[in-house]
Amino acid sequence: MTNASAASSQTLEDKIKAQARSLGFDLVGIAPAAEPASWHYYQDWLAQGYAGQMHYMHHQAPARSHPRHVFPQVRSIILVGLNYKPKHFVSQQPLPAHVGRVSAYAQCRDYHRVLRNKLKQLLRWLQQEVPGCQGRAVVDSAPLLERDFARRAGLGWFGKNTMLINKRLGSFFFLGALLVDAPLKPDSPSETNHCGSCTACLDACPTQALVAPYTLDARRCISYLTIELRGPMPPEMRSQLGDWIFGCDICQDVCPWNRKSPVGQCPELRPRPDLEQLDLYQLFFLSEEEFTRKFTGTPLMRARRDGLLRNAAMVLGNRKDPSAMPALRQGLNDPSPIVRQAAAWALGQIATAEAFAALRTHLPREHHPDVRAAIQDALRNPNRPD
């Protein structure tokens, strides 16, 4: 067959996949626009209260029952995956005392923008191939059960850690979807689960958030606690956060399918050195403007300033390193009561005479009842050296 006749015998679906790959996507498949097969799992999950404070998961539940609620004319869904596998697993990196662990996905530009831009380019190309074709690009930005449709499109299976896993790429890939009104031939779904008898992710999760295979209680997950949770950190979870300041990769880092998978090559997702080695001490001294300048366009903005500083104080409290004193003293004077409360807890964990003196000095000036209570709790520490 000549090149010309080979090209002309290509189906539209083949051309879409070739175009998606030329835009840099590592995985691409097509799913029909139907009710998601795992819809009932999702409803059970909500009923158990596993979504915690992510109220949008409840509000948007009816919309997740069918992709037509996201794009009324939808007839097919093109699912894409973009590899971001890091060179080194974040959970296994030795870190200096002032550096916190940022999960691999968050060490670069916000993936939502990167994927959405590429999906929009794919749509523009498709509109030239199929004049009049309409579509909508979605990356977490609409109520769509992305992992369900990705499995349906043949991109991978649901792992026991709840991640979608692909035999070649493992699980370090982002998902995106292009909902289109063109009727396309769907791919075969991934029917086989390759977890077998492995339980590495369930065994390694430091907070027992994977309450059963395939089921995550977000309220216990470090990723949820450090990214989505607003307000103070629940006391029983604080010491379990370890040194994660944003997100958590443990249940992916231990997965055998991530051992030999290729490292991500997307230039837009290259890690930023200052996020790979996030300086926790410096965070407390950044002005609001400096904070915004540093983190705009990165996933870390989602935690907001008070969330990120709260998390930083948790990590410093867990490390119990007195060299964090200047940063935590600054935290105790922060405008946000969430940050002051977290700094008070961390000083109580450091538990040196200097740490208790800082708490005692601050107490008479503190007017917020929750922060006062946190200081009083910290001062009641039985290990107080006086």
The residue ranges that bind ligand B12 (CB under 6 A) are 36, 38, 41-42, 45, 54, 103, 105, 139-140, 144-148, 158, 161-164, 171, 173-175, 214-216, 218, 221, 223-224, 227-228, 247-249, 251
Residue 45 contact, options ligand SF4, ligand B12, none, Cβ 5-8 Å cut-off depending on partner type: ligand B12
139 vs 221 by CB, closer to ligand SF4: 221
Positions in 150-189 near ligand SF4 (CB under 6 A): 159-161
**Cα distance between residue 101 and residue 80, in whole Å:** 28
211 touches ligand SF4 (CB under 6 A): no
42 vs 291 by CB, closer to ligand B12: 42
Residue 198 contact, options ligand B12, ligand SF4, none, Cβ 5-8 Å cut-off depending on partner type: ligand SF4
Exposed/middle/buried for residue 40 (C-beta within 10 Å: 0-12, 13-18, 19+): exposed
Residue positions counted in the chain: 386
**Cα distance between residue 112 and residue 104, in whole Å:** 15
For residue 190, the 8-state DSSP code is -
For the record, the structure tokens of 224 come out as 């949820």
Sheet arrangement for strand 278-279: 244-246, 99-102, 278-279
Least Å from the CB of residue 178 to ligand B12: 13
Which residues carry out catalysis? 140
257 vs 284 by CB, closer to ligand SF4: 257
For the record, the structure tokens of 312 come out as 């930083």
Least Å from the CB of residue 222 to ligand SF4: 4
Residue 41 contact, options ligand B12, ligand SF4, none, Cβ 5-8 Å cut-off depending on partner type: ligand B12
Q: Which stretch binds ligand SF4 (CB under 6 A): 27-35, 63-71, 208-216, 268-276?
A: 208-216
Q: Which stretch binds ligand SF4 (CB under 6 A): 123-131, 220-228, 231-239, 377-385?
A: 220-228
Q: ∠ CA 160-51-105 to the nearest 5 degrees?
A: 60
What are the phi and psi torsion angles at 200 (to 5°)? -55, -40
For residue 199, the 8-state DSSP code is -
Least Å from the CB of residue 30 to ligand SF4: 25
227 vs 359 by CB, closer to ligand B12: 227
Residue 205 contact, options ligand SF4, ligand B12, none, Cβ 5-8 Å cut-off depending on partner type: ligand SF4
Residue 160 contact, options ligand SF4, ligand B12, none, Cβ 5-8 Å cut-off depending on partner type: ligand SF4
Least Å from the CB of residue 84 to ligand SF4: 15
Residue 255 contact, options ligand SF4, ligand B12, none, Cβ 5-8 Å cut-off depending on partner type: ligand SF4
Among 385, 325, 380, CA closest to 358: 325
Least Å from the CB of residue 139 to ligand SF4: 20
Strand partners, 216: 210
| DSSP, residue by residue, 201-270 | HHHH-TT--EEETTEE-GGG-HHHHHHT--SSPPHHHHGGGTTEEE---HHHHT-GGGTSSPPP--GGGP
Among 232, 229, 231, CA closest to 209: 229
250 touches ligand SF4 (CB under 6 A): yes
**Cα distance between residue 276 and residue 265, in whole Å:** 17
Least Å from the CB of residue 174 to ligand B12: 4
251 touches ligand SF4 (CB under 6 A): yes
